[in-house]
Amino acid sequence: MDIKFDIANLKGFIEKKEWDDIVPQVKKAHEELVNKTGQGSNFTGWLDLASRTDNALLDELKILGEEVRENSDCIISLGIGGSYLGIRATVEFLIADQKIPIHYAGNNLSSGYLYHLLKGLEDKRVTIVVISKSGTTTETALAFRIIKEFMEKKYDANELKKRIICVTDQEKGALRKSINSEGYRSYPIHDDVGGRFSVLCPAGLVSLALAGLDIHQLIEGARDAEKAFDEMDLEKNIAYQYAAARYLLYKKGKKIEVLSTFYQRLSYVAEWWKQLFGESEGKDGKGIFPASLNLTADLHSMGQLMQEGERNVFETFLMVEDSGHKMIIPPAEENLDNFNCVAGKDLDFVNKQGYKATSSAHYEGGVPNMTITLPNCQAHALGQLYYFFQKAVAITGYLIGVNPFNQPGVEAYKKKMFALLGRE
Ligand code: PA5
């Protein structure tokens, strides 16, 4: 496995005996998950989604992307939650490979945001992808109404059929009805895959293929991870080590997990991770609160609290071994800032020393921490990481004793909002 996992900074927080004692519980969670006997098992289609994905579909999406990029200046990807975060996380991480600008809509209810977005696209050739599993989500449905009107002013009905692509349930929902009546191109979202687990199905893949990203390698990475994280051996399975460590720390009162990244391109992976972990674990009065920090920037804002605040936090660092591009620090004759010590070095060298210093200082300050390291900024590594986190959250969810695959709590505000809007 290319991903590395380091737990040296858990020493003193989790004892050897606790690791040994947790094995039977992890084994039970593993068996419930893979045998599909645990809670929410009808939403565990993500377990072997990558290996079930037909390469022919990936080839078809790659060709669709090439076609769309020939007649478009940009893409608008409409969706929210699981129909948005994985796409944005992937696009931002693979930024170097992106072949066309991609804008996002349907992920907020801000008039100003949509006004400025559409204003800026008046003279552009636009293709839109509307993603909604339920086909009824407020933000996506309303953005689609407004953007559809914008598209109808630009294009005739034939052109719209090419420029509006929908990703939704195979049979149900308002979006499926529009597809049937208007003849838009469409791709189905799997029944057995929940929104936050759907980045590797058409919910994520269509927009990613249009952006020109390597979806074959993304899926290949997840396929490799399926095999690597399948074995029930806590010594070998790093996804299970991460899951078990999180659970043991939670039981000791560490109720908040901070995912700290030292790379800008990982900041939306952290957003995706927050949804995956928050929505999967936060129920029945339980759950670790997932937060994230962009370092080193947030060391100048949240660093104080991490170092000396209430000790109810643990931290997971997300690092990259080969960050891709080099940015060499030049020497300065007068050395006024006293930084000639790093002249001739890549900026990433300093970044990595920043990580070493931070993980050690936080550890000494009472924050147990772990580090996940990706080999590089390629699609294959990201596919592995997505699967690593999905597998881990399923196991911690079962250890905590919740159904990691539902999200009943998100209905409460919707009911109140629909009542205020007079919507049936
Ligand atoms: O994880 C989830 O199920 C949610 O975050 C959904 O992805 C989100 O609410 C969007 O739902 P839909 O794709 O049905 O529009």
Residue 211, SS3 per DSSP = coil
Residue 238, SS3 per DSSP = helix
Which is the catalytic residue, given 153, 300, 334, 415? 300
238 and 339 part of one domain: yes
Chosen domain end from 219, 251, 269: 219
Q: Given this model, what pLDDT does residue 313 score?
A: 98
The reply to whether 133 belongs to the active site is no
Q: Which parts of 91-159 are beta strand (E)?
A: 102-105, 126-132
Q: Given this model, what pLDDT does residue 32 score?
A: 97
Domain count, the chain: 2
Q: What is the extent of the structural domain holding 356?
A: 4-38+229-400
Q: Given this model, what pLDDT does residue 173 score?
A: 86
d(CA 363, CA 355): 12
Q: Given this model, what pLDDT does residue 265 score?
A: 96
Q: Is 397 in the pocket of ligand 1 (CB under 6 A)?
A: no
In a domain, 421, yes or no: no
135 and 32 part of one domain: no
The answer to whether 410 and 279 are in contact (CB under 8 A) is: yes
φ, ψ dihedrals at 375, nearest 5°: -70, -30
253 and 149 part of one domain: no
Q: Tell if the pTM clears 0.85, that is, is over it.
A: yes
Q: Given this model, what pLDDT does residue 9 score?
A: 98
Nearest-CA residue for atom 8 of ligand 1 = 81
What is the mean pLDDT of each successive set of 10 residues along the chain, which is 424 residues long? 94 97 97 97 97 97 98 98 98 96 98 98 98 92 97 96 95 89 93 96 98 98 97 95 98 98 97 98 97 96 97 98 95 96 98 98 98 98 98 98 95 92 90
In a domain, 93, yes or no: yes
CA of 176 to the centre of ligand 1 (A): 16
153 and 62 part of one domain: yes
β-pairing, 256-261 vs 313-322, is parallel
Q: Given this model, what pLDDT does residue 406 score?
A: 95
371 and 273 part of one domain: yes
82 and 25 part of one domain: no
103 and 204 part of one domain: yes
> Which CATH number does the domain housing residue 354 bear?
3.40.50.10490
In a domain, 405, yes or no: no
33 and 51 part of one domain: no
395 and 248 part of one domain: yes
Q: Given this model, what pLDDT does residue 314 score?
A: 98
Nearest-CA residue for atom 3 of ligand 1 = 195
16 and 55 part of one domain: no
